[in-house]
Amino acid sequence: MIKLKPYKRSKWQIHLLFWILYYILEVYLDFYWSRYQFPDFKWSVRLQNTLILELGYLLIKMPLAYALLYVFEKIHIKEIFKYLLYIFIVITAVFGHRFLTHYIIYPYIYGVTETLDGKYPSGFINGYVAFNSFMDLIFMVGLIFGVEITRQKNLLKEQISLLKSEKLDQELSMLKAQINPHFLFNTLNNIYGMALKKADETPDVILQLSKIMRYNIYEAAEKRISIAKDIENIKDFIQIQKIRHRHLTISFTEDIDHPSQEISPLILIQFVENAFKHGVSESLGETFITINIRLKNGILTYFIENSKEEKPHTHSTKIGQKNIRRQLELLYPQHTLSVENQNDRYIVTLTIDFHDTKPSL
């Protein structure tokens, strides 16, 4: 679930920063302008007056800004009525701006009568002064709308990113859920065959299976585990299979320079499982599996070669292979996977550059 509370707090932080910066900008502009409008005033008096009058203007501008934003975001009416409401709010703000300027700022802060160009007395409202007030307010409205629309776009991008991440997490969980039963089902079949033969090794295999199930329940639930743990799980799986397949020659080599390197669980084991299920288990004579895992400088090279019958007796649905390909696409988009299906052998070469791993998954 996406929680919006952090973004709401962020909204008010952004708006507070906006008003502080806007206030500083307006103080600077009005203080600069007051040098020409009131040349006889000391700079300290002009600065004090400017700080006060800009605070007064904020009492008009802030309600205007949030009234327009509220109408923009919350009120859902016909466009024509919404535009009329905008116009009414702006006109009301212009009158408030003029009242503050004409009746309070000039007579009480500056101690003079408001004039036009310093010559002619200005009335409370006329075209020139109304236009000035309108432009002052619209400049502020444009800025606050720009800030808010930008904030909302960034929020939308973050929400979309979270949704994509959640969707990928759910898809990966579904893929793992398809792999785990498939993996355990094959192993239980092996134990069933040994139990029918009353093999002495059956208790040891059950104990080994318990260890593998613990891995699948706890370790595989994590997004990533160390490659050392993943390799240990592969070795446990091989030990179980070696008991059943007496005529199997298996070679397993590893060269790992960073055992704590993290990898998504249940990816590597699937290729080993396929080597047994669709290679060794379908062969009647001598069989072999060669596995080589190499990790150097963040780049994993995974090689599996297994013997197979030229005409296997069963047809593989390749569901597990499709799942693994999909997981690799989601987690390691820059990976390379080479599959060679020759007459007497099956060769898989997987390369993963962990520098290109997606951090959100």
Q: Quick one: pLDDT at residue 303?
A: 96
Among 27-36, 108-117, 303-312, 322-331, top mean pLDDT goes to 27-36
Structure tokens at 190: 């092996």
- The rounded percent of the chain whose pLDDT value lies above 90 is 26
CB 329 within 8 A of CB 356: no
Could you write out the three-class secondary structure of the chain?
A: CCCCHHHHHHHHHHHHHHHHHHHHHHHHHHHHHHHHHCCCCCHHHHHHHHHHHHHHHHHHHHHHHHHHHHHHHCCCCCHHHHHHHHHHHHHHHHHHHHHHHHHHHHHHHHCCCCEECCCEECCCCCHHHHHHHHHHHHHHHHHHHHHHHHHHHHHHHHHHHHHHHHHHHHHHHHHHHHHHHHHHHHHHHHHHHHHHCCCCCHHHHHHHHHHHHHHHHHHCCCCCEEHHHHHHHHHHHHHHHHHHCCCEEEEEEEEECCCCCEECCCCHHHHHHHHHHHHHCCCCCCEEEEEEEEEECCEEEEEEEEECCCCCCCCCCCHHHHHHHHHHHHHCCCCEEEEEECCCEEEEEEEEEHHHCCCCC
The answer to whether 253 and 288 are in contact (CB under 8 A) is no
* Res 155 pLDDT > 90: no
Would you state the torsion angle of the CA atoms of residues 268, 271, 274, 280, taken in this order, to the nearest 10 degrees?
Answer: -110
> In the predicted model, what is the mean pLDDT of residues 20-30?
91
pLDDT at position 6 is: 46
Specify the pTM: 0.52
- Complete domains list, the chain, with CATH: 5-125 (no CATH), 178-356 (3.30.565.10)
Mean pLDDT check: name the lowest of 9-23, 96-110, 275-289, 338-352. Answer: 275-289
In this predicted structure, what is the pLDDT of residue 236? 87
Residue range 29-52, pLDDT digits in tens = 888 888 877 888 888 888 888 899
79-85's contacts with Cβ under 8 Å and 24+ in sequence apart are: none
Lowest mean pLDDT among 54-58, 111-115, 331-335: 111-115
Pairing mode, if any, of strands 115-116 and 345-353?
unpaired
Contacting residues for 159 by C-beta, under 8 A, at least 6 apart? 2
Say how far apart CA 312 and CA 278 lie, in whole Å. Answer: 8
Please provide the average confidence, as pLDDT, over all residues in the chain. 81
Residue 90 has a pLDDT of 92
Q: Give the pLDDT confidence of 242-299 residue by residue, as tens digits.
A: 876 777 889 999 999 999 999 988 788 888 888 887 777 666 667 899 999 999 999 9
Give the end-to-end CA distance of the chain in Å, rounded to a whole number. 16
89 vs 65: CA distance, rounded Å: 10
Question: Rounded mean pLDDT of 209-230?
Answer: 82
Q: What's the rounded Cα separation, in Å, for the pair 331 and 264? A: 8
The 10s digit of each residue's pLDDT in 105-150 is: 888 888 878 777 666 567 778 788 888 889 999 999 999 999 988 8
For residue 2, name the pLDDT band (cuts at 50, 70, 90): very low
Quick check: 300 pLDDT over 80?
yes
Q: Is the pLDDT of residue 196 over 60?
A: yes
| pLDDT at 225 > cutoff 50 | yes
Residues 179/325, Cβ–Cβ less than 8 Å: no
Is the pLDDT assigned to residue 77 strictly greater than 70?
A: yes
Percentage above 70 pLDDT, the chain: 82
Q: So what's the pLDDT on residue 40?
A: 81
